[in-house]
Amino acid sequence: MNPDRLEHSGKIAGPMSARDPLHARPRGKLSQTRHSPLVAVLVASLAVGGIIAFANHDDSKSIASADDATASTTADPVTTGDAASGSVAGVVTPESIASAGGTGAAVPATGDTVAVADAATLAAGTDLDEATVTTGDGCQMTDESVRLGSTGDSVACLQNALLKAGFYAGAVTGTFDGATDAAVRKLQADRDLFVDGVAGRESGISLDIWPAEGSEVVHTPAPAAGAVDSMGFPLSTVSSVGADAPPLPADSGTGKRLVYSRAGQRVWAVSSDGTIIRSWLVSGSKYSNEEPGVHTVYSKSEKSTAWNGKAILPHMVRYQKTNIGNIGFHGIPIHVSDGTAYQTEADLGQRLSGGCQRQANRDADFVWAFADIGTTVVVI
């Protein structure tokens, strides 16, 4: 089972990347109608100019007007969806957990396939990287997560959605109390999310109260064939340099560093003199387990595998520890079973991982060379 999140408090930084694993909603049923006149007697009276109608019908049958029929036949359609990575909506499983400090033979840096790997030869441990259903009612969460003791509009929105979804029977107070905690845990258990009582992105998506995502993701033109950065590393189709690179976010630190914008799904590599060496799109976590703040690279592995041995994570660069596993930058994961990639470079810019930041393999090669142990990583 995938962790729904390791939440932290904080406001959602603007609109976020679109996901719509919608829960199938039942269609309304057209009421059956029958009108069986048993006796009809028509008496015409020219003197009064009226018509008297006598009719009898079977009271055991329901009667529906044309308006009723229209309303029934235009009920919400059944809608389903799954993530761009191919995972099935409603299923939450981590895609990867790999070892801190393990090493192995390098994975090819380009292409969507590699030879089927022998998982027994790869480093295995605790690196996080592998959707859900919805029932919303119009309100949206403005906090990245809420939990026992939280108060405010996000809690009221959550309670309202839980109430309508049948998980909560209390009042909408805006205070996250014990009854709300129990309701969130029931939601998470019923919908196969990580059960911790904390309502964040995945619980919000499941209830259709999470903001639409994607407006802050900037796609830059693909670089010319053979283009390289100032360090001589080839650019991927989603990386850029110089004037083509989006500007660094404000308050993103100083000195040599990697800057990761969760809302923008973008990373910048900055030299010690403040120059942007290159910038590129990533596929970050679907959850709220990427902690904002200043981190430090503490471990690297040329190749690691998922906790279940099903995925290869090339060029893993770790900077954040959680109580479930490590988070870091790596290349696009590869299925051990058949050597195919979990996604393409065209999918980058969407939140698709269980914790780590997936990169185009050329960008992963660059980060592997750029980010020595001790390199600063700023997450915003």
Whole-number Å distance between alpha carbons of 73 and 66: 11
Strands 41-45, 266-270: parallel, antiparallel or unpaired by DSSP? unpaired
Whether residue 226 sits in one domain with residue 280? yes
Q: In whole angstroms, what separates CA 153 from the centre of its chain? A: 22
List the alpha helices (DSSP H) in 121-177: 153-165
Residue 18 included in any domain? no
List the alpha helices (DSSP H) in 75-194: 153-165, 178-190
Whether residue 370 sits in one domain with residue 279? yes
Give the domain extent around 344: 119-130+217-379
Whether residue 357 sits in one domain with residue 287? yes
Rg of the chain in Å (alpha carbons): 28
Whole-number Å distance between alpha carbons of 347 and 281: 9
Span 71-93, pLDDT tens digits: 222 222 222 233 333 332 222 23
Residue 277 included in any domain? yes
Our count of domains for the chain comes to 2
Whether residue 55 sits in one domain with residue 126? no
Residue 342 included in any domain? yes
Whether residue 58 sits in one domain with residue 124? no
> Which token pair is 84?
């761009």
Residue 211 included in any domain? no
Whether residue 294 sits in one domain with residue 356? yes
Q: 108: pLDDT confidence band, cut at 50, 70 and 90?
A: very low
Cα–Cα nearest to 135, from 39, 251, 255, 22? 22
What does the pLDDT average to over 183-191?
A: 95
Residue 124 included in any domain? yes
What does the pLDDT average to over 196-211?
A: 90
Which of 39, 55, 75 is the C-terminal boundary of a domain? 75
Q: Residue written as tokens 């970050």? A: 284
The CATH number covering residue 276 comes to 2.40.440.10
The reported pLDDT for the residue numbered 137 is 56
Residue 196 included in any domain? no
Question: What pTM was estimated for this model as a whole?
Answer: 0.58
Residue 90 included in any domain? no
Residue 174 included in any domain? no
Whether residue 126 sits in one domain with residue 51? no
Burial of 226 (0-12, 13-18, 19+ CB in 10 A): exposed
Whether residue 294 sits in one domain with residue 353? yes
Whether residue 355 sits in one domain with residue 266? yes
